[in-house]
Amino acid sequence: MKIVVVGSLNMDLVVRMPKIPRPGETLLGGVFKTFPGGKGANQAVAAARLGARVTMIGCVGDDAFGREMRQTLSAEGIDTTHVLVHPESATGVALIQVDAKGQNSIAVASGANFELTAADVEKAMLSIGKFDVLVMPLETPLETIYTAAQIASAGGAKVLLNPAPAQVLEPDLLHLVDVLLPNEYEVGLMTGADLAAADIHQSAKQLLSLGVKDLIVTMGDQGALFFDGRTNTEMLIPACPVQAVDSTAAGDCFVGALAVGLCEGQTIAGAAAFASAASAISVTRAGAQPSLPSRAEVEKFICERKPSP
Ligand code: RIB
């Protein structure tokens, strides 16, 4: 079971505050920490901790954050041969504020993540050979993402796209996607809908009509909606109620876990239930990568929540 992630690596600079300041407001009382993050790296770590063999394709700067990010992934058993080092750009950085309810706001300076070219990805994927699932967020150039999807699809691998941050994508790319994984805001933004007026069902229908095969909309503590493109049916995957500490990387955890479930031959609904349990655990812990659970933790969590016969 082999997963390739094409995506971002960021160092997360996090301030925990009672509330997130409004524009123009200064608030004291924060606690500062750094955590390895970046949606791509988080998804890679989530899948590796749940038992997959993972190769990461990405780009960092020739700096201390970049070295730390590569070391952290290697320590998780992730193949970092194709995490390139750009000589002039800085490693990606995310400035994150987390409030007392565990909600966050994130500002990203992408830096080296946007130096990953289509040619880099093509070279890396040719040398990696066969794999089962390709996982990608949208924090690297679109051309790179499109090339990776084409190669993976031609080689018979499943393509999982997490459209975060959201944007309207060309049908050429959506046609290559097996499972699209936006959250409840991103699904509307992808169809160009006004955020306030966006209807999840309407947006989902539109995306499926553009060629996406299956769609899972994650909705935090409301669970996830799975739209099956083949049968035109939908199913609610319930959330597992937990005490939220920090929602950072909960979506990434869901994506990585879903990839593992699909690699293991689970149905999409089964893999989504597994992913929902994994991401619930991640919400109970601070930070991006430190919050991602091991396989044993997820299995124990599922077992403890099974109704007794
Ligand atoms: O999804 C969470 C991630 O988004 C953070 O780790 C941050 O780096 C940004 O990429």
- How many Å lie between the centroid of ligand 1 and the Cα of residue 248? 7
190-206 pLDDT, tens digit each: 988 766 556 899 999 99
Type of residue at 110: S
Q: Which of 235, 208, 238 is nearest to 221 (CA)?
A: 238
How far, in Å, CA of 14 to CA of 31, rounded? 8
Taking CA atoms only, the protein residue closest to ligand 1 atom 10 is 38
**CATH architecture for residues 2-21+32-294:** 3-Layer(aba) Sandwich (3.40)
How far, in Å, CA of 117 to CA of 136, rounded? 14
How far, in Å, CA of 303 to CA of 282, rounded? 17
- How many Å lie between the centroid of ligand 1 and the Cα of residue 103? 13
**Residue boundaries of the structural domains of the chain:** 2-21+32-294
Confidence of residue 88 (pLDDT cuts 50, 70, 90): very high
- How many Å lie between the centroid of ligand 1 and the Cα of residue 58? 14
Phi then psi dihedrals of residue 105, to 5 deg: -130, 140
How much is the pTM? Answer: 0.96
Tell me, what's the pLDDT at 227?
A: 96
pLDDT at 307 over 90: no
- What is the average per-residue pLDDT within 137-147? 98
Closest ligand 1 atom to the C-alpha of 288? Answer: 6
Q: What is the DSSP letter of 209?
A: H
Check if 194 is active-site: no
